[in-house]
Chain A
Amino acid sequence: MRVTVTVNGTTETHDVEARMLLVQYLREVRGLTGTNIGCDTTSCGACTVLLDGESVKSCTLLAAQADGEEITTIEGMAAPDGTLHPIQEAFHQHHGLQCGFCTPGMVMAVASLLKEHPDPSEAEVREGLEGNLCRCTGYHNIVQAVLSAAHSGELVP
């Protein structure tokens, strides 16, 4: 079937199998491999992207369901000149990543979280990230990064 999807501001049309998942579409058709696949049960959140500004797990959407939608992936976060998005920068500053596999999904989940909770408490950050698993950091520095990003004043919705 034919789908037209805008990803990081670029609109393309492709023929895909009906059973193709959005995450496969992004990785295999659009060549955006920053979005990772960490599980098959909607548990780990590594595949999190923004669909019309809201975090979703792209392993649990069909590419067909994204037809006509706007998707933002990790590749769409930094400025065109390579300057990291304030959330990415906060992860860097606070050592909020180690192996980096969960990181793209984590960053996208944070983007959505901070849109909904611009001034979160630590508890709200932890609850807001309950859909994203990380095996390296123990979450400590991720939480610090999110709190710092929220309070940096640089996040203009």
Chain B
Amino acid sequence: MSATVLEGHGTAGVVGTRMLRREDPALLSGEARFVHDLVVPGALHMAVVRSPYAHARITSVDVSVALGMPGVVAALTGADLAGEWASPMPCAWPVTADMQSPEHLPVALREACYVGDAVAVVLAGSQAEAQDAAAAVAVDYEELPAAVDLEDAARDGVLAHLDAPSNRAYTWELIPDPEAVRRAFDDAAVTVKERYVQQRLIPAAMEPRGVCVVPQPFGGEYVVYSSTQIPHILRTMLGMTAGVPEERIRVIAPSVGGGFGSKLDVYAEELLCLALARRLRRPVRWSEERSEAAQATIHGRGQVQDIELAADADGRVKAVRVHLLADMGAYLQLVTPGVPILGAFLYHGTYDVPAYSFTCTGVFTNKTPTDAYRGAGRPEATYAIERAMDALARKLGMDPAELRRRNFIGADKFPYSSVAGLVFDSGDYEAALDKALGLVGYEALRQEQAQRRSDGATKLLGVGLSSYVEMCGLAPSRVLASLHYVAGGWETATVRMLPTGKVQVVTGATPHGQGHVTSWSMIVADKLGVPPDDVEVLHSDTGLSPLGLDTYGSRSLSVGGTAIALAADRLVDKARLLAAYRLEAAPEDLELSDGQFAVRGTPSTGIGIGTLAFEAFTAHDLPEGMEPNLEASATYDPTNFTFPFGTHVAVVEVDTETGRVDLVRYVGVDDCGNQINPLIVDGQVHGGIAQGVAQALYEEASYDERGNLLTTTLADYLVPAASDLPSFTLGRTVTPSPSNPLGVKGVGEAGTIASTPAVVNAVVDALSHLGVEDLEMPVTPERVWRSIGAAAPVPGGAR
């Protein structure tokens, strides 16, 4: 594992450049195929009848009218389908031994537990016919009290499931030294005690989900097309849940239109299409609609966070104590209970804190299940500590930048063993802060802020900081075992050269917008000395790439990319032996440059790797014992997480008369270690920032007191548009990760993790002189206006 990609790039030298994406032409021309685009002759369209009640007893389901409608082939209830399931829907993360998990079937039998819970399905010749018939399925419900509010649910006032003993799914603790925490709070000169609410969010990938299952009548195989992030995990889980031998399922994720965690799941519709295709021996497809997606696809966040800091008089934080309530929703989906745990180790943020206490209780409610959404646990942790640090700064009368500086884990302390039990790989947090403050012009902003305040301006300026560290590249398999996650954290890759010198890369990572084809071909191009365009990347099809653990948790590059680099190294090693045989030289005397092996110092007498590939293919004259072909595989299980970090600064203008918040400037300085393609890194950060800003200012999955989701459309759920966001100024520091040979860290979630607290801190900062200390997300104009009115007697109205 000594070789690194960066050492290799003397050859083609594309790693580190802003190479344009190879994925683009197909996507730009309309040629790319998403699941909804597939033409499958004879496919039946499935429509799902969903509960309009958050909690109800299903007393009868009558499909007779629907069955008689035009084009209808089948209409089935939960009872009709009960025999199709070998086991209930899977949750892969039993975080505690005593975790409660109510039985979750693709179609409910007796009890509907959220608005959107499936109660029947209809199959018809067209989508319109299926929808017409679904509307004609008559379901009798006996509405039951619904557990809607998270804190009420935690008190078991109303049970989300009739047969459950309580709404508690689990309680999980991380308290390395309770006494140290108690002492720190007893001795503290200053403490802050904050309560933050992480509203529920709808991931809203632009492509709604889609599934199409095509049975292969003579082989007994099922081809499952799904807009999923996890074809490999899905195949295993489909097999286990539907009782189909795993090898008979081939999962293909064609072009996937964004995921953000929402397609990191095993969904009822995937199981239903498979079971119905098996039952009817016909292709069955389902296209999710947006209003359906709001209920039937997982939500993110949904926590109430209590966080306390104990600090000395100089502002040095001595302890962090956190208690979370986490909203599971109605059922545990694939990794629902683990999401808060992914943040559990990070509530001290970038700060050198000696005492730590974290507890989390997962609670069932009668709402759409939650699960991993971009950042999954880390945005929540970062939000809590970064908001609390600003609260501490206000209490101390200290500049928030100075408070952060005082508490940072020093650059000289890496690798840093954290109080929560992690080893942070590398970092220089102050350098990122300094760079961000410089880019934004921090001092000048503070002066302008003071000027506006003293002028009595109605447009106030606020500056918000967020320094973050996150853990990604999930994860070393042994660590996952200690957290009771049922799978590993490795990734696998094969690199092979074809007879003509072209290269194929097979990866278990599964892109859905991240540009993997581009990045993987850059890595391999530099390793082998071939043009990136000569590298074909095969992915997202379990028929082509049978093993893999897919894409989530900012793992693809640091785990999957490393596996590819290692496989390429192995291929080069073999090619070197063959070249040495051909050139009659010692392998160690050969160097690979621009795709040519040559004895060091005599490059003109070399042999091309493409030629070697052909000779390895013909196998006419190979060294004794060498197998034909140039092909190598590697499976990489990371030794540690990677820990990207950075500082983001948001600048807002707040209209005190209307409460309107305008994000006027945004600076993000991130450190994700070495960069394969800075163009793609920029794009990941841009998008992440926008999603985090959206949580801060715009988005919330709102429910009424009966558990009806009010934000079912993109007209009500406010995904921001171009006109609602500014351009972003990005900067970067580069602190390579020592824990993988590429020296890379993840970057897919960093922007989202950093931006939410930066923006909310900025709004609070704008209003802090008026006495405003907190604003609930999303920070709507009305909430801002009310906070001003509540903080000061001056009415916010016309003045």
Contact = CB atoms under 8 A, between A and B. Distances in A.
Interface of A: 17, 19, 27, 31-44, 46, 73-75, 77-78, 82, 84, 88, 91-93, 95, 97-104, 107, 122, 125-127, 129-143
Contacts of A107: 28
B25 to A, nearest CB: 7
A93 B689 CA distance: 21
A3 to B, nearest CB: 17
A137 B30 contact: no
27 contacts: A17-B128, A34-B31, A36-B206, A36-B257, A37-B36, A37-B208, A38-B208, A38-B714, A41-B714, A41-B715, A74-B30, A75-B30, A84-B29, A95-B21, A95-B679, A98-B687, A100-B24, A100-B255, A101-B207, A107-B28, A126-B725, A132-B722, A133-B719, A135-B719, A138-B686, A140-B727, A143-B727
B258 A101 contact: yes
Contacts of A42: 715
Contact of A27 (B28, B37, B260, B714): B37
B204 interface: yes
Interface in B671-690: 679-680, 682-683, 686-690
B512 interface: yes
B28 A100 contact: yes
B206 A34 contact: no
Interface string B14-34: 000000110111111111111
A136 B207 CA distance: 11
Given A41-B290, A43-B715, A34 B30 contact: yes
A95 B722 contact: no
B686 A137 contact: yes
A137 B36 contact: no
A33 B205 CA distance: 18
A140 B25 contact: no
Contacts of A33: 30, 33-34, 36-37
B723 A127 contact: yes
A78 B727 CA distance: 28
- The interface centre, meaning the residue of A33, A34, A98, A143 with most chain B CB atoms within 10 A of its CB, is A98
Nearest to B208: A38
A137 B683 CA distance: 6
B64 interface: no
B277 interface: no
A104 B175 CA distance: 51
Contacts of A75: 29-31
A141 B689 CA distance: 13
Given A36-B36, A98-B258, A100-B23, A134 B206 contact: yes
Nearest to B260: A135
B289 interface: yes
Contacts of A97: 24, 27-28
Interface in B41-78: none
A120 B204 CA distance: 29
A118 to B, nearest CB: 19
B256 interface: yes
A75 B32 CA distance: 11
B31 to A, nearest CB: 7
B798 interface: no
A142 to B, nearest CB: 7
B291 interface: yes
A89 B24 CA distance: 9
B25 A84 contact: yes
B721 A100 contact: no
A126 B21 CA distance: 24
A131 B682 CA distance: 24
Given A33-B36, A100-B255, 16 more contacts: A17-B128, A36-B36, A38-B207, A40-B290, A41-B713, A41-B714, A74-B28, A75-B31, A95-B682, A99-B205, A126-B722, A134-B206, A136-B206, A138-B725, A138-B728, A139-B686
Contact of B29 (A27, A77, A102, A134): A77
Interface string B188-209: 0000000000000000111110
Contacts of B1: none
Interface of B: 20-21, 23-34, 36-37, 39, 128, 204-208, 255-258, 260, 289-291, 512-515, 679-680, 682-683, 686-691, 713-715, 719, 721-723, 725, 727-728, 751
B710 to A, nearest CB: 14
A53 B469 CA distance: 48
A98 B683 contact: yes
A53 B206 CA distance: 25
Contacts of B25: 84, 92
Contacts of B30: 32-35, 73-75, 104
Nearest to A103: B27
A92 B713 CA distance: 30
A35 B32 CA distance: 11
Contacts of B713: 39-41, 43
A137 to B, nearest CB: 5
Nearest to B127: A24
A41 B682 CA distance: 31
Given A33-B30, A126-B722, A130-B723, A102 B686 contact: no
B513 A93 contact: no
A95 B680 contact: yes
A92 B290 CA distance: 28
Given A34-B30, A97-B28, A99-B256, A139 B680 contact: no
A93 B679 CA distance: 10
B749 to A, nearest CB: 13
Contacts of B290: 38-41, 44
A38 B722 contact: no
Nearest to B33: A33
Given A27-B37, A98-B513, A139 B725 contact: yes
A95 B683 contact: yes
A133 B725 CA distance: 12
Contacts of B751: 138
B39 A137 contact: no
B24 A130 contact: no
A135 to B, nearest CB: 5
A139 to B, nearest CB: 4
- The interface centre, meaning the residue of B30, B207, B260 with most chain A CB atoms within 10 A of its CB, is B30
Given A100-B23, A136-B513, A141 B683 contact: yes
A135 B28 contact: no
A93 B258 contact: no
A135 B687 contact: yes
A35 B255 CA distance: 14
Given A95-B680, A99-B512, A139-B722, A40 B687 contact: no
Contacts of B36: 33, 36-37
A34 to B, nearest CB: 2
A22 to B, nearest CB: 15
A140 B728 contact: yes
Contacts of A99: 27, 205-207, 255-258, 512-513
Contacts of A126: 721-723, 725
B212 to A, nearest CB: 13
Nearest to A144: B727
B27 A100 contact: yes
A112 B442 CA distance: 40
Nearest to A46: B206
A75 B617 CA distance: 40
Given A39-B290, A129-B721, A133-B721, A122 B513 contact: no
A80 B288 CA distance: 34
- The interface centre, meaning the residue of B255, B682, B723 with most chain A CB atoms within 10 A of its CB, is B723
Contact of B204 (A34, A100, A135, A143): A135
Nearest to A129: B722
A46 B37 CA distance: 14
Given A46-B206, A92-B21, A100 B257 contact: yes
